[in-house]
Amino acid sequence: MLYTIVRGNSFYDVAIAVRSLSTGASKVLLTGGSHPHYVRTGHIVYAFAGTLRAVSFDAVRLEVTSDPVPVLANVATGDAASTFGVARDGSLIYIEGSNSQLSEFVWVNRQGQEERLTAPPRNYRHPRLSPDGTRFAVDIWDQGKNDIWIWSFARETMSRFTSRPGFTSYPTWTPDGLRVAFGASGGLFWKDADGTGNADLLIEDTTKRLFPQAFSTDGKHLILRARNPNRGADMFMLELEDRSSLVPFVTTEFNEANAEISPDGRFLAYQSDETGQLEIYVRPFPNVEDGLTQVSTGGGTRPLWARDGSELFYVSSERQILGVSVTTTESDIAFGKPEVVVERPYFAGGGLGRAYDIAPDGERFLMLRAAGDSERELIFVQNWGEELKRLVPSGGVP
């Protein structure tokens, strides 16, 4: 299995690795690329800075056998998902254009009706509605840097919340709505939600590459995702009164991310690739070792609880939003059959996080869609495998 490793504090510090599904052993093949595709001509094709590159690959020894070669320019290679694919017969499909991803916000109800917000099109990621639903915080990426901004529904204005060098990402509201935590160069911070004052450091840690995920309902703990360059993503817990150390929370040989705590504070939902593909799992909280339930079966990412805890939503492999009913007792939790609640594919996530949210009434979803002036051509190329073999000679593999 080929996959992308995010190694630094930015999605642009990436590498391509291979993992044996039988032994679980992994090794890095290439640095500086993402979204790898194995092609039966004996190549790996991957995205790099708006182009596709290819290397010759020995699938028996799991080794790259050539230098990288640019094979196609002007490809929209977004960081949330691959914008190209190669079929078994060597046909290529891709989206033409630059990496700029202008998007706009819409409310979408369960009947598929849209209501566009007046926020101007920009490169948005990771929107998070405030607990009272009157505002949302969001990453905005501009010209290679990003900051967090806050939108007010009442005033219909977007106000800058952070202005820092490097990256600033993953806004996460405290349960009382008074502060917003975020990951940034140098550690994890939070700041008063009204934008006043300076950001306070919660914990300094440049090695684990921390990103906030969810506060406990009592506001005393913060679940974090930490990138381990040798193993992938794990989850840790920060005790907010002490802040002296991180407690390993869900740490395995697999990648765990996008943690969400249920509104009653009793359960933790997250995604993991322990089966070989990303699926949604739920554990008791805070005693995560007391149980494990797999919720999705055909692939799932970016879970989200309904505000009343009666449903759990996630993004399917077809980029639809699915919902499952949730029934709890004093000691257990049960899930219903997944049903489509948002049919049309929207932007499921910018970067590695969730890019949608749900209104407090549970009837509307805050979604991102491509802005009207950023539509792009979908290009289909037959027999592209022959061109690939010409550009990057390979002996092929069985």
Give 68-90 pLDDT, tens digit per residue.
Answer: 999 998 787 654 456 788 998 88
Q: Does 202 have pLDDT greater than 90?
A: yes
- A 10 A CB-CB count for 176 gives 11
Interval 194-202 mean pLDDT: 94
Tens-digit pLDDT profile for residues 286-343: 999 999 999 999 899 999 999 999 999 999 988 899 999 999 998 899 999 999 999 9
At 398, the pLDDT band (50, 70, 90 cuts) reads very low
Q: Does 373 have pLDDT greater than 70?
A: no
Please give the residue that has the higher pLDDT: either 222 or 5: 222
End-to-end CA distance of the chain: 16
For the chain, percent of residues with pLDDT exceeding 90: 58
pLDDT at 75: 82
Tens-digit pLDDT profile for residues 265-275: 999 999 999 99
**The domain made up of 103-374 is a member of CATH 2.40.50.140:** no
Q: Is the dihedral of CA 40, 41, 46, 52 positive or negative?
A: negative
77-86, 212-221, 243-252: lowest mean pLDDT where? 77-86
pLDDT at 34: 82
pLDDT at 351: 53
Interval 26-41 mean pLDDT: 86
User: For residue 156, what are the CA distances in angstroms to 114, 150, 373?
Assistant: 18, 10, 21
Interval 108-128 mean pLDDT: 94
193-207, 296-310, 361-375: lowest mean pLDDT where? 361-375
Which of 149-158, 229-238, 313-322 has the highest average model confidence (pLDDT)? 149-158
User: For residue 321, what are the CA distances in angstroms to 57, 62, 123, 297?
Assistant: 36, 36, 21, 14
Contact 106, 370 (CB under 8 A): no
